[in-house]
Amino acid sequence: MSTTAPGRLLIVDDEVAQMKALCETLEMEGYVTSGYSSARQALAALREGDVDMLLTDLMMPEMDGISLLHAARQVDGNLAGVVMTGHGTVDTAVKAMQDGALDYILKPFKLSQVLAVISRALDVRRLRLDNAAMRNRERAYIAELESANRDLESFTFSVSHDLRAPLRAISGFCEIYLQTYADTVPAAGREMLARVTSGAARMDQLIEDLLRFCRSTRQTMVKRTVHLDRLVRKVLADLQSKQTGRNLELRIGELPQCEGDSSLLEQVFVNLLSNALKFTRDSNPAVIEVVANEAEGETVIRVSDNGAGFDMQYAKRLFGVFQRLHSSSEFEGTGVGLSIVQRIVQRHGGRIWAESELGKGATFYFTLPRAAE
C-alpha cells in the first residue's frame, strides 16, 4: 500500500465504468472515495459531507468540470480541485488551473501519476487549512490584545486620576492644617504630619513611575537610524547640569549608529546614567563609562560605574517592577527605572544583563540591532 496520506476524495466522471474503476483503485491505496456520474449529485454530496479533494472530468454533459469546480469552491474555499482530461483538451485543463484547479490528470490514467498529483493537491489543502487556522489565531490574538490595551488605558486613567486625587487631598489638607494651626501644633505633631506628607509624596511618585512603565510598553515604536554618540552626550549634558560640586570623570567611547526608536532609547540612557550618577555620589572621583562593540551582528552597549554596586545573588530581582536592592534611606527611587529599560531593550529585540560586586560598582550590558548599511 502507498504511504500517501489518506484523504477524502470526491470523484466525478460521466463515464461510470471509468469512475468506479478509479474509486476502487484509490480505495486500495488507502483513500476514502465517493464517486458520481452526475455533477449536480456530486455537488449536493459535497454540501452534506466533508471532502478534502475534488477530482472531476472536464467534459461532462450536465455541467463541465470548470463550472463544477467553481461551485464546489463556493461550498469550501479550501477544497483541493484536480481536473481529468484527455490529450486533446490539455489547453482546457490549463484554463481550469487558471480558474482554480491545482493540477490536471491525463487520460488514460497512470497510477503513479494519479497518486503523485493527489498527494501534492492534498498537501496544498493542508497548507491552506493551516494558514486559515493561523489567520484565525492571529485575529483572536489581535482582538485579545486590543481588549487588553483598552483595559490598560482604563487602568492608567483610573490610576492617574482616581488614585492621585486622594493623595493630593491628603497633602493639601496637611499643609493647610500646618499653616492654619502652626502655633498650636507641637513638634511631635508636626513630625507626624511631615511623615504623612512624605508618604503621600512617595505614593504619588510610585504612581507616576508605574504610569511611566505602562507608557513604555504601549508607546508606538518609530524605528530609524539612531546616532548613539549624539544621544548619549545629550543625555549626559542634561543630567550633568543638575550635578553640582561633584568630581565626575565621564568616559564616552566611540558609539556606533543603530536601528531603533530614538525617544525610547533616550529613556534607556536616562535611566541607566541617572542610576550611575546616583550610586556614585559617595565615590571621588565618580567614574562613569559608556562604550560599545560589535558582536555577532549586533551592537553591545556597556554602561559602567565605580559606585555602590550590588550583590549578584540578588541580580534576578534587578529588573522587576518596584524591586530595589538598596534601602530608600541609602538611595532614593522606586525601583521602576530598570524595568522600563529592560522592556524597551526587549521591544528592540535586544537583551540586557548586569555584573556587579558590592562596593565596587556595576556594569550594565544591553544589545541593539546594528544600523542598516
Nearest of 314, 260, 307, 267 to residue 287 by alpha carbon = 307
Structure confidence at residue 156 (pLDDT): 66
**Secondary structure E strands in 1-79:** 8-12, 32-36, 53-57
The model's pTM is: 0.52
Structure confidence at residue 328 (pLDDT): 58
Residue 169 CB burial class (10 angstroms; 0-12, 13-18, ≥19): exposed
Rounded Cα distance, 65 and 118, in Å: 17
Structure confidence at residue 372 (pLDDT): 67
Structure confidence at residue 273 (pLDDT): 92
| Low-confidence stretches of the chain (pLDDT beneath 50) | 1-5
Q: Are strands 103-106 and 80-85 parallel, antiparallel or unpaired?
A: parallel
Cell numbers standing for residue 12: 466525478
Rounded Cα distance, 85 and 59, in Å: 8
Structure confidence at residue 86 (pLDDT): 78
Structure confidence at residue 10 (pLDDT): 92
Sheet holding 362-369, edge to edge: 248-252, 286-295, 298-305, 362-369, 352-356
Rounded Cα distance, 102 and 67, in Å: 15
Structure confidence at residue 202 (pLDDT): 74
Distance of alpha carbon 138 from the chain centroid: 11
Cell numbers standing for residue 207: 504612581
- pLDDT tens by residue, 141-157: 888 877 776 766 666 66
Rounded Cα distance, 53 and 8, in Å: 7
